[in-house]
Structure formats: C-alpha cells, structure tokens
C-alpha cells in the first residue's frame, strides 16, 4: 500500500509542476498566408495597422494568430483558420453580455484578468478567459448566456477515481492539460497527454473514472466509417473524431465527428459500419 501511495504521490507532484506549453508557432508575413486568410485578416484590420502574425498548430489544425492596432489606438488579437474562417477575436469585458461578465467576475475573484477571446467558430458564441495569480494561469470558457462551460484544472482538483485513470493513461508520458467540462449530463474531464512514444492522446473521463470517449485519427476508424466521413465532409475539413466508448446512438457506439464546411461548424455522427447517424447540434 505504501508503494502504491508513493506512485500516486510522485505522479501528482510531477503533474502539479507541469507547465501547459502552447503549441509550436512561428512568425509569418501576410503574403505567406493562404489567400482566404489574407482576405479575412485585411477585413479585420480595416483602416487599422496589422501587427505580428504567428502560424500555430492547434490540435492538428493550422491557424494564424494576428494582432492589430485600431485607428483609436486599441490593440486586439484575433485568430483565423487556414481556410479563412474567423475563429476568435479579443474583446474587452464591457463588450461581453452582462451574464458573461457576472460569471467571469465570480470565477476570476482574486485573480488578474489577462484576456477574453470571443469564439465564433461554433454554433453558439462562447468566451475563453485567461486569468493569472502568483505566476499561475487559469483558463475557463463561458457560454453566451453566462453558463460556465469548462475550466482548466490540475490533477489534484479531480476526484480520486479520475486521478487513478489519468495516472494509468499517462504512464511514462507527459500530461499536458485537463479541462473540467460542465454540461446537462454532468461533469466530465477532457484530458490531453503526450505518450512515451511521442504520440498525442486525448480522452474524456467521467467522475467515476470510466473513459467516456477517446480521440481517433481518421485512418484508425473502420474503413466503412472512413468512407462515410469523407463523403459527408466533402471539401470541408475534419477537425476531430471521437469514438464513444459508453454512450450509444441508434444502438451503436458512434464516431462523433467535428468538422467545418463553408466556414460553419459541421458536426455529425457515424456508426462503425458506416451508417450516417445524423447531424449534431
């Protein structure tokens, strides 16, 4: 028992010291970005002045983080997908709905507000908030109606059952991020890690420690499902595929596909035998 406790203590001491690093990025010029990206950047800048542009790989997707200085001197950052879709824009607290402001103040109590990004790439608007205190960072996401959607946490903030699952999955790898998710079905934890072989892994854990779903590469799902996914997404872009491990849909454990098509979210479900299970809200 003492040995087991030592393992868990070592894991969480190490995990508590993890600095969740940003994905690799590199500076680029406007002319080095795709034409659709240039159009969106120019539209956002308007009569202002364009600042730096950084190419970043975020969850396997190439995005461009850009800055601008407006004619009134205000500085803003925004993010554009490589297909030209405007993903997010930096906003001030006063520019958010009153309900959102209330939630931000409650969650940021005792912390310093660093920035708010308005997310535009989903069916509903949400706000990513970053706060700091004593050289620590905390990120959380708020829905447009003020509902707290998610919050970045450390292993010690999760139930013991979740901690055990995370420890088992990390093994000799490196934990990169845990997000506590709040929805109508209850609380879950989205976990990102880098395995010992360097492969990135993402999965969702229920409060009882059960793995609810795991992220899959397109080539790892069944051939029949691959064909359906490709047919449905067409000239759009696959952003993420998750295999449900517990929750069935139409009697099967589905693949949940997050995509973007014609600049809009395009999310749907597919069965392992390739049956289309419908669009997701």
- Which has the closest alpha carbon to 25: 49, 61, 77? 61
Closest listed residue to residue 261, CA positions, set 123, 66, 127, 149: 123
pLDDT of 15 reads 43
Cβ–Cβ < 8 Å for 112, 133? yes
Ranges of the chain with pLDDT below 50: 1-22
CA nearest neighbour of 257 among 189, 248, 276: 276
Question: Which CA distances in Å does 6 have to 10, 154, 172?
Answer: 6, 18, 15
Q: What is the pLDDT of residue 21?
A: 42
Four-point Cα dihedral 97, 101, 121, 133, nearest 10: 170
pLDDT at 146: 97
Tokens 């993010």: give the residue: 79
Q: Which helix (H) or strand (E) covers residue 246, if one does?
A: none
Structural Rg of the chain based on CA atoms? 20
Q: Which residues lie below 8 Å from residue 31, measured CB to CB, with a gap of 6+? A: 38
pLDDT of the residue at 121? 82
């Amino acid at each position: 028992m003492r040995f087991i406790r030592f393992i868990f203590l070592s894991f969480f001491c190490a995990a508590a010291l993890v600095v969740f690093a940003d994905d690799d990025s590199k500076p680029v010029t406007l002319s080095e970005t795709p034409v659709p990206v240039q159009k969106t950047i120019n539209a956002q800048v308007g009569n202002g002045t364009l600042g730096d542009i950084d190419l970043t790989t975020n969850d396997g997707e190439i995005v461009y983080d850009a800055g601008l200085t407006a004619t009134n001197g205000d500085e803003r950052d925004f993010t554009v997908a490589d297909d030209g879709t405007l993903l997010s824009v930096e906003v001030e607290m006063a520019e958010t709905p009153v309900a959102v402001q209330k939630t931000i103040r409650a969650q940021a109590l005792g912390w310093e507000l660093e920035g708010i990004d308005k997310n535009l790439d989903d069916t509903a608007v949400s706000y990513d908030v970053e706060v700091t205190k004593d050289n620590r960072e905390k990120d959380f996401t708020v829905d447009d109606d003020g509902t707290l959607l998610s919050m970045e946490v450390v292993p010690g903030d999760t139930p013991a059952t979740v901690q055990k699952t995370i420890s088992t999955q990390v093994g000799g790898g490196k934990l990169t991020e845990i997000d506590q998710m709040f929805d109508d079905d209850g609380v879950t934890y989205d976990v990102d890690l880098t395995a010992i072989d360097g492969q990135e892994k993402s999965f969702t854990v229920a409060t009882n420690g059960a793995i609810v779903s795991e992220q899959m590469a397109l080539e790892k799902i069944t051939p029949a499902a691959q064909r359906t996914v490709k047919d449905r997404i067409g000239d759009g872009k696959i952003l993420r595929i998750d295999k449900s491990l517990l929750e069935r849909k139409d009697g099967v454990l589905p693949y949940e596909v997050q995509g973007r098509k014609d600049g809009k979210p395009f999310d749907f479900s597919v069965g392992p035998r390739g049956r289309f299970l419908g669009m997701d809200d």
